Amino acid sequence: MHRLLLLGSLWLVVPPPASSIFQRPTGSPATPRLQYLLEPLHAAVHTQRGATATLPCVLRALPRNYRVKWSKVEPANYRESIIIITNGLYHKNYGPLSPRVRLRHSHRYDASLTITDVALEDEGRYRCQLVNGLEDESVSLTLHLEGVVFPYQPSNGRYKFNYHEAKRACEQQDSRLATYQQLYRAWTEGLDWCNAGWILDGTVHYPIINSREPCGGRLLLPGVRTYGARDKQKDRFDAFCFTSALQGQVYFIRGHLNFKEAGQACRNHGAAIAKVGQLYSAWKFSQLDRCDGGWLADGSVRYPITTPREHCGGLPDPGVRSFGFPSKELRTYGTYCFAGK
């Protein structure tokens, strides 16, 4: 378990010691032995947006009059949404995943769930439950999308989003609000950001690698610092967005263009001006590396650097650099375009 340390009004998430991660607390009951379902070899399945992923669920025996129910735990409200129910002969799909899911059914004991054209919102925890009267049992699996988390704020400055505006802003940039697990993973990979932002479950955090005065003080340990749950309507922060692989290509058009001309230049090539999430995805997955600032769909100007060098911002780490939101009338920059497959 992660520990929460209260420091003034700020909570700090501290990961458990490595030696304690897999220890069962003294006196806690052991996990009930599964009679019909096989424990999956791996509890997590890793994939990317646009791919096909299969979550394994295999029976060791077929009880009489059984059903298998697949559901997904929604991170925004912790409710379970039914995806599919089968009795081995017939099945029925439910909810928004319905058009993209099927049972693999490679043999009579196989109740594995296959998701096609994986979307950003598909990441999360899934449950395969055998419904058999008093002998119900289940296994849980997690679908992880490989991706990148990026902080996002609007053109009018920091701390302007309530929760619903932050959620909408991420979606407009080809991304979605990050989960806590995605933000934590990004912190372990080096994300260091001093501004607090909303995540999908309605809590507010910021990840710190290098402790410093403007970010809680030098005495606080590195970590994902949290303000906890906040009022989704009234409280205002930035957003932490998550995106994954692209089904298309981001490329740069050189020129001295204003914002309107940048959009037209992309359309002249049969493309659209790239969104912020698309640029981050191209940087992460296609190693896009350009020293040229270019317009993006939200009116910001950014450029992706995979090999840091002195004349490209001078910062020691790879990243997507930003010039902020300059006047849209300036004819100073090129443009980043996105062409879908």
One domain, residues 203 and 263: no
One domain, residues 193 and 270: no
278 in any annotated domain? yes
The domain in which residue 257 lies consists of 246-340
1 in any annotated domain? no
Question: Measured between alpha carbons, how far is residue 260 from residues 68, 300, 337 in Å?
Answer: 54, 13, 13
Q: Considering 219, 243, 267, which residue would you say is the last residue of a domain? A: 243
One domain, residues 251 and 332: yes
- pLDDT per residue rounded down to tens, the chain (341 residues): 444 444 444 444 444 333 322 233 344 444 567 889 999 999 999 999 999 999 999 999 988 889 999 999 876 667 889 999 999 889 999 999 999 999 999 999 999 999 999 999 999 999 999 998 767 899 999 999 999 999 999 999 999 999 999 999 999 999 999 999 999 999 999 999 999 999 999 999 999 999 998 888 888 889 999 999 999 999 999 999 999 999 899 999 999 999 999 999 999 999 999 999 999 999 999 999 999 999 999 999 999 999 999 889 888 999 999 999 999 999 999 999 999 98
Q: Considering 222, 243, 264, which residue would you say is the last residue of a domain? A: 243
Helix (H, G, I), strand (E, B) or coil at 170: helix
107 in any annotated domain? yes
One domain, residues 225 and 270: no
11 in any annotated domain? no
CB neighbourhood size of 305 (10 A)? 19
333 in any annotated domain? yes
Among candidate residues 200, 190, 67, the one with its CA nearest the CA of residue 128: 67
Residues 6+ apart with CB under 8 A from 173: 152, 241, 243, 275, 276, 277, 278, 297, 298
One domain, residues 294 and 253: yes
One domain, residues 41 and 65: yes
CA-CA-CA-CA dihedral for 319, 320, 321, 327, to nearest 10: -170
**Residues pairing with 67 in the sheet:** 131
- CATH number, domain at 278? 3.10.100.10
13 in any annotated domain? no
The CA distance from 160 to 157, in Å, is 7
The CA distance from 39 to 22, in Å, is 17
Among candidate residues 243, 242, 247, the one with its CA nearest the CA of residue 116: 247
Q: What angle do CA 318, 252, 185 make, to 5 degrees?
A: 30
Q: Which helix (H) or strand (E) holds 211?
A: none
Total domain count for the chain? 3
One domain, residues 139 and 68: yes
Q: Which helix (H) or strand (E) holds 265?
A: helix 259-268
Q: Which amino acid is at 284?
A: K
How far is it between the farthest Cα atoms of the chain? 72
